[in-house]
A and B are shown apart, each in its own frame.
Chain A
Amino acid sequence: MPALAKYRHSFFVGLQSNLVYRWNFALRGGFSVFHLTVVFILWSAAYAGNTHIGGFDLAQTLTYFVILILLQFFVGAFNEDYQISEDIRNGLINQFLLKPINYFLYRLSVFSAARIVSGLLVLVPLGLALPLLWPYLAPPHEAWRLALGLPAALLSALIQFTIAYCFGLLTFWFLEIQSFILLSLAVETVLGGQMFPLDLMPPALFHLSQYLPYFYQMYFPAAILTGRVDFAGALSGLVIQCAWALILLGAAQLLWVRGLRRHTAVGG
């Protein structure tokens, strides 16, 4: 079997199994529209009496949050860490150790399939809300933003998946990792720019955040796509993003090798 064919099959199996959970994704997508309503109400109230906050007008800030929702559903990690953790705890991972398949690539292909399903499904509630949202949106028109924003979004997907993968592998050491995941999620949510655009932080903190991986999870692609970063900033950011992706891939490989040494496969 050609090397890539098995991952293509995993991808299609992933598509089918995620379509089974289409209502869960649709429900989650519906909730995200309510979250967007909270964001719109809060930021509209904050902008009352201010034409600009942090150099951006209300429409630009709201566009940022809409793009964030799209990114969350197209490139964000949902419960991949739990799935990997369950594979290890239940011993299901043993079957991957005996077959000529790379577990990371297998999981990555299933993750890609899941994000295509969830991403397409979130377009439904967002599409329905679009007539209401449209007057508040101000997407930038420069073509280079799309040309750099899409690779940034793909790298963001890789970073998010690899972080989730690393957390899942912690199950080799700890039986219960749910609290680790939620603790990390809180940090990622803030430092990833999901609660507010990071450029509104004090300049020193914003500068510091640019050297953390969280910056490249959500904020960076959203900032490119919504005009919050200039061309030079986007290029240098892509270099740092690539570096973080490589570092995290290295960490994932290290955890896998070390974790397997601790792993005991039982039964047959």
Chain B
Amino acid sequence: MKPLNYLRLWLACARYSMVRTMMFRADFIMWSLVELFWMGAGVLVIGVLYRQTDSIAGWNEYEMLLLFGTAMLLQRLLMGFFWSNLFEMSRNIRTGHFDFFLAQPGNPLFMVSTRKLDPDGLINSLLALGMVGYAAHHLGLHLTVGSVALYGLLVLCGLVVHYSVLLMVVSLSFWIIGAQNLEGSYFTLFEFSRLPREAFRGIARVFFVYALPAVVVSNVPASALLHGFKPVYALWLAAVALAWLGLAVLVFSRGLRQYASASS
């Protein structure tokens, strides 16, 4: 299939998702509220902590808010574009409904990853972006088109990392059919992305900052807005995104070979 056809397919799926959401408007409002409340809870933690102290690992309250907003932006973008698709993947592998994706005339990974959009996640990603803008305004940052574009690119790299980690975790279902709640490990890992890099010491620094991509995904884009473009950090994040995507695709492809269907 040509790239243009994939784009058409994605647009058709997006349109279907929007129509479906509008059919269940109350559900859409409730889910948007759920995500908003969880985001609000995170902001509340920052508010409570900074009532007691002026700085956490050298980050002031609005810098921390900007970091948290970036972490939320990444997570909400993942929720909006990919979460439902990948969440259902492990269930489909268990039930054998995964056959449906293999029978389609397109790349299985594309088909599996893009069938649905969740507009509530996308709405909340706008709110997260608003949080970043609010924090930037309070910090008196002079944002240029270039700095915003760079931030966007780094967020995109971060989104690739989020997607890759989730894909890899969910692909384990090809081997561990009975395992449930594997996707919980995604949330556990990216809880670390709300913390500033400087807060990590010793073995935790080696593990969470360098070995796993949990901290770099949010800290690099946030630092680019706060302290300007640093090529080393940008290259670091781009390399991490590429490496994790490659690894995730490899695990998915190997898993696909393992898949034995479950039809009756």
- Residues on A with beta carbons closer than 8 Å to the beta carbon of B199: 41-42, 44-45
Chain A 48-71, CB-CB to B under 8 Å as 1, else 0, gives 111001100000000000000000
B145 CB-CB contact with A under 8 Å? no
Pairwise interchain contact A190-B204, C-beta atoms closer than 8 A: no
Residue of A nearest to B189 (CB): A34
CA distance A243 to B33 in the complex (A): 30
Name the residue of chain B whose CB is nearest to the CB of A54.
B52
How many interface contacts (CB-CB < 8 Å) are there between A and B? Answer: 88
Q: Kindly state whether residue A17 has any CB partner on chain B within 8 Å.
A: no
Asked if A1 CB lies within 8 Å of chain B CBs, one says: no
Q: Find chain A residues with CB under 8 A from B48 CB.
A: 196, 200-201
Stretch at the interface among A20-28, A136-144, A213-221, A231-239: A20-28
Q: Is A189 an interface residue (CB 8 A)?
A: yes
Query: In the assembly, what is the distance between CA of A176 and CA of B196, in Å?
Result: 38
CB distance from B163 to the nearest CB of A (A): 20
A200-B37 in contact (CB<8A): no
Chain A interface helix/strand/loop/mixed: helix
B128 → A minimal CB distance (Å)? 16
B49 at the interface (CB under 8 A from A): yes
A residues in contact with B195, CB < 8 Å: 38, 41-42, 45
Q: Known contacts A35-B191, A195-B41: does B56 contact A182 (CB below 8 Å)?
A: no
Against A, the Cβ 8 Å flags (1 = close, 0 = not) of B195-214 are 11011110010000000000
A27:B192 contact, CB within 8 angstroms = no
B51 contacts A45, CB within 8 Å?
no
Contact for A179 among B34, B191, B192, CB less than 8 A: B34
CA distance A28 to B30 in the complex (A): 26
What does DSSP make chain B's interface, helix, strand, loop or mixed? helix
Q: Which residues of B contact A182 (CB under 8 A)?
A: 34
Does A265 sit at the interface, judged by CB under 8 A?
A: no
* Measured CA separation A189–B40 after assembly (Å): 12
Q: Which residues of B contact A189 (CB under 8 A)?
A: 41
B-chain residues with CB within 8 Å of residue A41 when the two chains form the complex: 192, 195, 199-200, 204
- The smallest C-beta distance from B92 to any residue of chain A, in angstroms, reads 19
Q: Evaluate contact between B192 and A38: CB separation under 8 angstroms.
A: yes
| CB-based contact B31/A28 at 8 Å | no
Residues of B within 8 A of A204 (CB): none
Determine if B30 and A183 form an interchain contact, defined as CB atoms under 8 angstroms apart: yes
Which residue in A23, A179, A201 is a CB contact (below 8 Å) of B31? A179
Chain A's interface size range is 20 to 34
CB neighbors of B among A146-205 (8 A): 176, 179-180, 182-183, 186-187, 189-190, 195-196, 200-202
Is B45 interfacial (CB 8 A cutoff)? yes
The reply to whether B181 and A28 form a contact with Cβ atoms under 8 Å apart is yes
**Across-interface contacts of B51 in A (CB, < 8 A):** 200, 202
A179 → B minimal CB distance (Å): 4
Contact of A186 among B34, B57, B191, B194 (CB under 8 A): B34
Residue B22 at the chain A interface, CB threshold 8 Å:
no
Contact in complex: A24, B37 (CB < 8 Å): no
For residue B185, CB closer than 8 A to chain A, the reply is yes
Chain A residues within 8 Å of B30, by CB: 179-180, 183
Give Cα distance in the complex from A47 to B57, angstroms.
10
A45 to B52 CA separation, bound complex (whole angstroms): 12
B residues less than 8 Å from A50 (CB atoms): 52-53
Q: Bound complex: CA of A195 vs CA of B48, how far in Å?
A: 10
- Interface residue A16 (Cβ < 8 Å from any Cβ of B): no
Mask, B67-110, CB within 8 Å of A = 1, is: 00000000000000000000000000000000000000000000
CA distance A162 to B229 in the complex (A): 53
Contact with A along B144-180 (1 / 0, CB 8 A): 0000000000000000000000000000000000011
B52–A200 contact, CB under 8 A? yes
Q: Is the CB of B38 closer than 8 A to any CB of chain A?
A: yes
Give the docked Cα–Cα distance between A37 and B55 (Å): 20
Chain A nearest CB: distance from B20 CB in Å?
A: 14
Q: Which residues of A contact B41 (CB under 8 A)?
A: 186, 189-190, 195
The answer to whether A24 and B191 touch across the interface, beta carbons within 8 angstroms, is: no
List of 5 A-B pairs having minimum Cβ-Cβ separation, nearest first: A179-B30, A186-B37, A45-B199, A45-B57, A31-B188
| Residues in chain A within 8 A of chain B (CB atoms) | 23-24, 27-28, 31, 34-35, 37-38, 41-42, 44-50, 53-54, 176, 179-180, 182-183, 186-187, 189-190, 195-196, 200-202
CB<8 Å pairs between A and B, sample of 22:
A27-B179, A34-B188, A35-B188, A37-B192, A41-B192, A41-B200, A45-B57, A45-B198, A46-B53, A50-B53, A53-B52, A53-B53, A176-B27, A179-B27, A179-B34, A189-B41, A195-B44, A196-B48, A196-B49, A200-B52, A201-B48, A202-B51
